A and B are shown apart, each in its own frame.
Chain A
Amino acid sequence: MSAIELVSVLTELIFVLVFLLVAWSAVRRRTRTSVDIALFFGAIAAFIVESRVVTTLGLEQVELVNDVVTILVIAMPYLLLRLVDDFSTVPFIANRLAEAGLLFSAIAFLATVGQPPTSIVLVIVVYFAALATYCAVKFIRAARRSSGVTRRRLEAVAAATLLLGLTILVAGLSPVVPAAAGALDGLVQILALGSAIAYFVGFAPPPILRRAWQEPELRAFLRRAASLPRLPDTPSIVGALQDGAGSTLGARATIGLYDRETNKLRFQDPHGVLPNEIGPSEYLVWRAFETQGAAYYADAARANPGLAPAYRAHGVRSLLIAPISAATERLGALEAYTDHQPVFSEDDLDLVRLLADQAAVILESRSLIDEAARVRAHEQAARLKEDFISAAAHDLKTPLTTLVAQAQFLERRAVTEPSAPPDIAGIRRIVLEARRLSALVVELLDSARLEQGKLVGEREPVDLVELARDITGRETYQGRRITLSADAPVVGSYDPRRIEQALENLVENAVKYSPEASEVRIAIMKRDGLARIDVTDEGIGIPSADLAQIFERFHRGTNVDDRRFAGMGLGLFICKGIVEQHGGRISVDSRVGTGSTFHVVLPLGDTA
């Protein structure tokens, strides 16, 4: 047996094998596509077997068998076009041209009793080759649109189709150029072998190849999956899972999360074609969710005729569904669909199950993270409340200690030494500590009101510039250099008492935490329809570690000497509350040792 013969036998064996495989799968699952594939390879196999049998046994050609096989061979390009139509859409005109070609070749063959003149043969060959090339291009386009295993398979089919076209073209040309017949015959055998192998890979890929194709996609998915639970919220995780599953399966993927309260699957379909929620219904996804079984439907509309219009309208043709569940809890379902069949196959069920399980792990760890965060937040809130109470108690008891002791001491002296001169220092101490206590009580009440959102009352037009001028002119700040820069009145609608309190707090802080000789600058301006207030000091500054919490209740800068700077750490908390309840924002820029600038932005409100 020569090398050429060997190649030829091998090619034939592969084509027959492919036929057997696709025929078996068409028998197992009869869909238009599987039947089309089986017909196409059936035509090839019939031709091969017939010619093999005839040549090996040296039989006389049986007329009828010969004719049938010939028709089948002639029908091959047309069958190929039908196949393309299953994957993507073939224009009407192309279909009609192919049918015309089919008719023409059939008539030509039958009319000339299988011996058409060379010119006719040439026309038929060109028709074959052109159609094969057209189909190859269509397959390549379909491959471009998909990904993963599907893409590889469609690419293989495209290559095989192109090679088949070339095979036919070269085989058809060889009788025309008898001189090169030997070489061309060899070329035909090699092209045919290539085509056979590529079809085998495309239509009946062995599991090992399928797994090898899936692996990179799966690996990429798993790599991404590891970081998914850290995404900010569940919708973004679901989005990422959908993208990942979609590109792994080469389809559109969507995840429905089960909502126990409404007993519905909630979808967040990025393609916007599926219903947002699906409750107990005939939808295949609900069926899969309820039975907790993965399912594959080559044609969703046929599997569920009741909802066929819905599936057609949504562009759902082939469908893969796997339930997402963790241990005993049903979390939802993963659905992958395409508008053409048969992008998926039974074998993709394993993959979609794997993806669904992975999604379950991710969603489950996400909910654990959420749960842990909730518990932590709850604990922290409780701790803060406790801290607040004990800090408030401590701060209230300190002036009370002086008040009680001093008052008792004065009383005792008044009794034991009635003629002694009044203890002026002691009396002043009582006045001072009583004021301090009163200020603390007011602060505490403010912070309690703030929590209830009731800090800001009636609003009226307030000129912030005039207010600032009024504050800086007070006796307390005599001897301090406070400059106010403002070019025009800035009038907004505010609670006058509260806005004054906030501004005063900022000025007070600026003065309190900066050297006596340094300057405090206040700038007030109107910009972009907002009032902006900047209060800048050249004081001790705020350590960057404290910046994030400086507006929190009871937080005081770690560089603040409690003894020198009395306060409960409520001032900025209340200040922020006042600004925010006016619809504004407060922020701070600061450098230790250089100073701080507090920025307040307030809406002007309706001052009419």
Chain B
Amino acid sequence: MVDDDPSIVAVISDILAAEGHEVVAAENGQEALAKANGEALVLLDMRMPVLDGWGFARRFRASGKRSPIVVMTAAENASRWAAEIGADGYLAKPFEIDALIAAVERHATKPH
């Protein structure tokens, strides 16, 4: 999960942990690229300092990584931004936790 807002990172980590998922948090695209290690899903904020969502997605794909990406953004045009980076899905902030859990279930790659 890549987001520059520590509160959001904390609450989403708690929710997903309760669902039985393991969460690796990064506060910007750069840190996320460094930490990425074949995760089942990337939850990606778009507006971030250092390296934003667009920059992260481009480099992430360029490096051959295949993890699905779900965009989470507070911006009006969440769906367009998701399409721009070829994301698999999007969550418009603020979202219901059911929507979060459903998105994760739907897009995360299942262990083989």
Report whether B96 and A408 are in contact in the complex, using a CB–CB cutoff of 8 Å: yes
Of A400, A403, A413, A429, most buried by chain B (CB within 10 Å of CB) is: A429
CB B10 to nearest CB in A, in angstroms, measures 6
B residues 7-31 touching A (CB-CB < 8 Å):
7-8, 10-12, 14-15, 18, 27-28
Report whether A429 and B94 are in contact in the complex, using a CB–CB cutoff of 8 Å: no
Q: A397-B74, A399-B7 are in contact. Are A404 and B14 (CB under 8 A)?
A: no
A residues 389-417 touching B (CB-CB < 8 Å):
390, 393-395, 397-406, 408-409, 412-413
Task: Select which of B11, B49, B74, B75 is within 8 A of A429 by beta carbon.
Answer: B11
Report whether B11 and A406 are in contact in the complex, using a CB–CB cutoff of 8 Å: yes
CB A260 to nearest CB in B, in angstroms, measures 44
Across-interface contacts of A561 in B (CB, < 8 A): 49
**CB-nearest residue of chain A to B77:** A390
CB B32 to nearest CB in A, in angstroms, measures 14
Across-interface contacts of B107 in A (CB, < 8 A): none
**CB-nearest residue of chain A to B98:** A408
Q: Is A379 an interface residue, CB under 8 A from the partner?
A: no
Report whether A400 and B93 are in contact in the complex, using a CB–CB cutoff of 8 Å: yes
CB B27 to nearest CB in A, in angstroms, measures 6
Q: Is B76 an interface residue, CB under 8 A from the partner?
A: yes
Report whether A405 and B11 are in contact in the complex, using a CB–CB cutoff of 8 Å: yes
Across-interface contacts of B48 in A (CB, < 8 A): 563
Report whether B96 and A562 are in contact in the complex, using a CB–CB cutoff of 8 Å: no
Task: Select which of A400, A404, A413, A425 is within 8 A of B96 by beta carbon.
Answer: A404
Of A397, A405, A412, most buried by chain B (CB within 10 Å of CB) is: A405
Report whether A403 and B94 are in contact in the complex, using a CB–CB cutoff of 8 Å: yes
> In the complex, what distance in Å separates the CA atom of A394 from the CA atom of B27?
17
Q: Is A433 an interface residue, CB under 8 A from the partner?
A: yes
Q: How many of chain B's residues have a CB under 8 angstroms from any CB in A? A: 24
> In the complex, what distance in Å separates the CA atom of A561 from the CA atom of B50?
9
Main SS class of interface, B: loop
Q: A394-B47, A429-B11 are in contact. Are A408 and B74 (CB under 8 A)?
A: no
Q: Is B44 an interface residue, CB under 8 A from the partner?
A: no
> In the complex, what distance in Å separates the CA atom of A426 from the CA atom of B7?
9
CB B74 to nearest CB in A, in angstroms, measures 4
CB B41 to nearest CB in A, in angstroms, measures 17
Q: Is B5 an interface residue, CB under 8 A from the partner?
A: yes
Task: Select which of A393, A413, A423, A562 is within 8 A of B49 by beta carbon.
Answer: A562
Across-interface contacts of A390 in B (CB, < 8 A): 75-76
Report whether B10 and A409 are in contact in the complex, using a CB–CB cutoff of 8 Å: no
CB B102 to nearest CB in A, in angstroms, measures 13
> In the complex, what distance in Å separates the CA atom of A362 from the CA atom of B12?
64
Report whether A429 and B15 are in contact in the complex, using a CB–CB cutoff of 8 Å: no
Across-interface contacts of A425 in B (CB, < 8 A): 10
Report whether A405 and B94 are in contact in the complex, using a CB–CB cutoff of 8 Å: yes
Q: Is A432 an interface residue, CB under 8 A from the partner?
A: yes
Q: Is B97 an interface residue, CB under 8 A from the partner?
A: yes
> In the complex, what distance in Å separates the CA atom of A403 from the CA atom of B96?
10
CB B6 to nearest CB in A, in angstroms, measures 8
CB A417 to nearest CB in B, in angstroms, measures 10
Residues on B lying within 8 angstroms of A by beta carbon are 4-5, 7-8, 10-12, 14-15, 18, 27-28, 47-49, 74-76, 93-97, 100
Given A397-B94, A400-B93, 15 more A-B residue pairs with CB atoms under 8 Å apart are A390-B75, A393-B74, A398-B74, A400-B94, A401-B8, A402-B10, A403-B94, A405-B12, A405-B15, A409-B97, A413-B18, A423-B14, A425-B10, A426-B11, A429-B10
